[in-house]
Structure formats: structure tokens, C-alpha cells
Chain A
Amino acid sequence: MKIDYYAYHSGMTKWNAGFKVLLAVGTLLMVIIFNRVRISLFAILVMSGLTLIAGRLPIRTYAHYLTIPFAFMLLSSVMIAVDFAGTPKGDFNFSLCFFYVCVTRQGIATAAQVLLKAFAGMSALYMMAFSTPMGEFICVLQNLHLPGLLVELMHLIYRYIFILLETAERMQTAAKVRLGYGSLRQGFRTFAGIAGNLFILSMQKAERYYDALAARGYDGKLEFLREQRPVSAGQLAGAAAYIAAIIILGRFTR
């Protein structure tokens, strides 16, 4: 949820949302297609640079949000690099009583490649997530002709998630001051009570929300004024240079 906050306060919030989405998805595709370490590294450099410098995201925050996916990526790459066998068949072998843990040079290279690829993809997605408010992201999907019903649902769900969270938080506090979480048993009971109440409350409020929509002339089509944010020449040139650099790195160097 905090990511949402950063998206609204990023230095890149005002950039064209479609441009950012395209850049992120493009990076992801190129990293996968070329599948080369140097391209992954380059993409990580550029995408993180954008997030940190253009987006002005504090580096500690960025590192914090990268820790969890990075831990997963690291674990899975270790599994790629390592093999278990009855005989010492790797380049490096560790004997563990009945079997060997084998690591081959080839395995390490593949693991590093996968790790960097995943990391590059992650940095591209973070660039987008930390700079694009949900509302604008939904508008991009709308421009891609996603069915109207889905788009409207996304708008409404996004808005009401925050109200739901706020209400849940208040209920939780109210339960806490009455020792609702005193023991594990009580905790479970309180949780069940809050979940049930939230559901009933949502049903009641839905009616009010519908009235409020109708009061402003809602007739089954949710439409807002959309922000016009043209892509600047500088941004366009930057993107072109970035893509050109990736292609050169991928095709013309060994």
C-alpha cells in the first residue's frame, strides 16, 4: 500500500503513464528475448537510475522493497546452480555423507544469468509501480481497449480498498482497546467478528455509494476527465537512445 503513496509523490508522476508502461514492458521483453547478462545489467542500471534519480525515491526505501523479491530470486538461483548427486560430478563438490552437493561452472553462469534477468525485470516493474498512480494505470488499460466493465470495476475497487482498510483499522483499534486480542482464542474470535461486520457494513454502504453516484447523474458509465500528459522530446530521445543501446549491446557485441 505504501507503494501507492510513493507513486503519487514520485518525480516521475507527471510523466505520461502509457510511456512508462511501455518502457517497463519493453524492457521486460528485451531482457527476456536477448537473455544476456550485459543487457540485464544495463537495464538494471537504467531502470533503477530512473526510479532513484528521476523518481527521487529514497535509496533506502528502494532497497527495502527489493529485499523480499531479491531473497526469492537468490534462493531460486541457488537451486539452479546446485545439483545433488551420488558421485562428485561437478566442478566443485561438497561431500555430505551419502551424497554430494555439486556445482558446475555452467550452473553458476546460468544462475547468474537468471538472477540478473529476474532482477532487471523487477527493476523495470518497480520503475512503473513507483511512479504511476493506479488511476492512470487503469486509464492506460482503458486506452488498450480493455472492456469497460473491467476498467470501471478496477476504478471502484481501487477507491474502496482504501475505505475498507481504514474501516478495518478502526474496528481493529476499537477491538484492541477492549482487549479483543488478549489471547490467541480471543484474537481469532475478534478477527472473525471484524470480518463479518466488514462484510455487512460493505453491503450497507454500497447502497449509499450508489445513491451518491446517481446523485451526480451516473447512468452506467463511469467517466472522468483524463490528464493530458504529452511525452516530452527529451523523454522520447532518452527512450530511443536506451533501446538503441540495448540493441547494440545485444546484436553487435560478443
Chain B
Amino acid sequence: MSRIREELLKTRDLSFAYEDKTVLQSINVTIYRGERIAVMGPNGAGKSTFFLNLNGVLTPGQGEIFLEGRKLEKKAFHELYKKVGFVFQDADSQIIASNVRAEISFGPMNLGLTKAEVQRRVEAALDYMDLQELKDRAPQYLSGGEKKRVSIADILAMESELLIFDEPMAALDPVNANLVEQIIDRLHTDGKTLLIATHDVDFAYRFADRLLVFSEGALLADGPPEEIFQKQEVLEKAHLKKPAVMQVWEALTDKESLQTDFAPRTIDQLTAYLSQTVK
């Protein structure tokens, strides 16, 4: 971890209220380039509102936003969509065009690019999400998993550096949930910064190198998952469970006094370790 951490997006004392109902209270978060962040917390804790603020759809009542270290003017907030892409939870609420190719072109068209560039980006997004065969299809004739892939391609074509996913695996069958997880891993490898809201603690534990926990509009915890999942009061307040692998590991390290400088994040790591050490 000798790499210098480059700041991508920072919020300082960001607050937001719908009319007189406070939804976000002075949120301070700094997101660094290349991070994999899981955002957790019960529904209504303010995750989606936070995302919409980061993306420029909503303008915070108070607070400042810094992009790559530079403070943004308030009227420049709505330009944030150029750097921050947002994949909505429900693909149907995102898709508007009458065929896949036109749909993916919507974001790039709004960026004011040349036609050739829009075309290049649409093609690249189609390839990346393996959608070439479906490019002339209408959204109403796509399956749930296919719609999800289209909604991700929508955002990829905008070539934003920070990608926000709101519960990307919700309402998907295991095959498609798996596929989306693979896509997310690939995006990380390709250098994207990822911010993913999820209720799945096991996924968060294996995916994230940083965890943000929201509760009642405030940021309850911010740190590495292995630390946060140890804090009983955070878990209780945000109604979270410990990841299964962590629970099993703790039970093992208690009884068998296995070495503790290593902690498995996934079932595969756990079983590999066990088959090596436990005879």
C-alpha cells in the first residue's frame, strides 16, 4: 500500500433536507481514486439521497463538495454527473429510449460530445457489457438481468471515474447477481472507483476495502470492513449482521487457536485455508 492516495471526491459538512425533514446531517467523506466502498445502512438512512447529492441531481442545503481537491462552486454542482455515474436500483426507472443502442447513447449525447465520439463510446459500452446482440432490442423485450446490464452500460458510456451502484444485485436471480458481481470486479480492475450500496454483508465483506455505514441521516462509521464489523454498537444501531465467514472464523479462532494475522474474506479463502491447515 505504498501508492499515494489520490483524492477524487470529498464532501465537507454536507447536509440535505427535503422541505423541513433533515435527511443528511453534515456528512464528511473523502473518496480516493480506485477505492471499493460499500455503503450500508437500513432503508431511509439517507444512502440514496447521499448518492443523488454526489451526482449533482440534488443540491445540498449546506456543505461543500471538492472534486480532485478543488472546491466546487455551488452552481457547478449539477455538472458532477460528468464525473460521477449513478446506476439506479430499478433498471426500469432508468431506461427511457426505445432500443438499447439509443438508450446507451442518451448520457454521452448529454455530455455534448461529437457524434463519432458518442458512437465510439456506445460501441465500447455494448462490448464491455456483452450487449452487441441485443443492441436493436426494445427495453420491454429484455429480461431483468439484461435490463440491468443495459443500465450499467448507460453509465459506462459516460466514462465517469466514480461509479455509484444502488443495490445492484437487488431483484436479480443468482446467475445475474453473480454476473453483476463479476462486472463490478472487472470495473475495479479497470481502474474505476466504486461506491456500492448494499444490504448484503457477505458481499460487502468480500468486495469492499472500505465501509460507510449510514444511520438516520448521519455517517455512523467509516473504515475498513474488518474493523467496522467488529464494532458491536455500530452493527446494532445500523441493524447489520456480521458476515458469515467472519462469524465462522471467529468461532474457529476461539476454539482452535488458529493463527490470527490472516482473516479470510470469502468462503473460498476460508475453505482453502482450512483444507491446508486442519488435518
Contacts and interface: CB of A to CB of B under 8 A. Distances in A.
Interface stretch (A77-85, A186-194, A215-223): A215-223
A13 B88 contact: no
A218 B81 CA distance: 10
B114 to A, nearest CB: 12
B163 to A, nearest CB: 12
B93 A4 contact: no
B93 A212 contact: yes
Nearest to A218: B110
A159 B95 contact: yes
A13 B108 CA distance: 25
Contacts of A8: 136-138, 141
B37 interface: no
B86 A155 contact: no
Q: Is the interface of A mostly helix, strand, loop or mixed?
A: helix
Nearest to B154: A216
Nearest to A224: B102
A158 B92 contact: no
A135 B97 contact: yes
B106 interface: yes
Contacts of A5: 141
A226 to B, nearest CB: 7
For chain A, which range describes its interface: under 10, 10 to 19, 20 to 34, or 35 or more residues?
35 or more
A215 B98 contact: no
Nearest to A221: B110
A91 interface: no
Interface string B59-100: 000000000000000000010011001101010111111110
Interface residues of B, number: 42
B81 A215 contact: yes
Interface in B151-180: 154-155, 158
A22 interface: no
B111 interface: yes
B96 A155 contact: yes
A158 B93 contact: no
Interface string A209-253: 101111111110011111100000000000000000000000000
Interface string B180-207: 0000000000000000000000000000
A205 interface: yes
Contact of B138 (A135, A156, A217): A135
A134 B138 CA distance: 10
B141 A224 contact: no
B22 interface: no
B98 A155 contact: yes
Contacts of A14: 136
A21 to B, nearest CB: 16
B11 interface: no
Given A159-B139, A162-B140, A163-B92, A215 B57 contact: yes
Contact of B109 (A163, A209, A225): A225
A226 B101 CA distance: 9
A224 B88 contact: no
Contacts of A224: 97, 102-103, 105-106, 109
A217 B140 contact: no
A133 interface: yes
B138 A4 contact: yes
Contacts of A105: none
A136 B101 CA distance: 12
B5 interface: no
B34 interface: no
A159 B96 contact: yes
B41 interface: no
B46 interface: no
Given A159-B97, A212-B88, A133 B138 contact: yes
Contacts of B138: 4, 8, 133, 135
A226 B139 contact: no
Interface in B110-154: 110-111, 115, 118-119, 122, 136-141, 154
A225 B115 contact: yes
Contact of A216 (B78, B102, B110, B137): B110
A208 interface: yes
A245 B217 CA distance: 73
Contacts of B122: 225
Given A158-B98, A208-B90, 17 more contacts: A5-B141, A8-B138, A14-B136, A135-B99, A212-B88, A212-B94, A213-B96, A215-B55, A216-B110, A216-B158, A217-B111, A222-B96, A224-B103, A225-B101, A225-B119, A225-B122, A227-B136
Ordered nearest first, which 10 A-B pairs have the shortest CB separation?
A135-B98, A225-B105, A217-B110, A224-B102, A162-B140, A216-B107, A215-B86, A223-B109, A214-B57, A212-B94
16 contacts: A135-B138, A138-B98, A155-B97, A159-B95, A166-B140, A205-B93, A208-B88, A211-B52, A211-B57, A212-B93, A214-B56, A214-B78, A215-B56, A215-B57, A217-B158, A225-B118
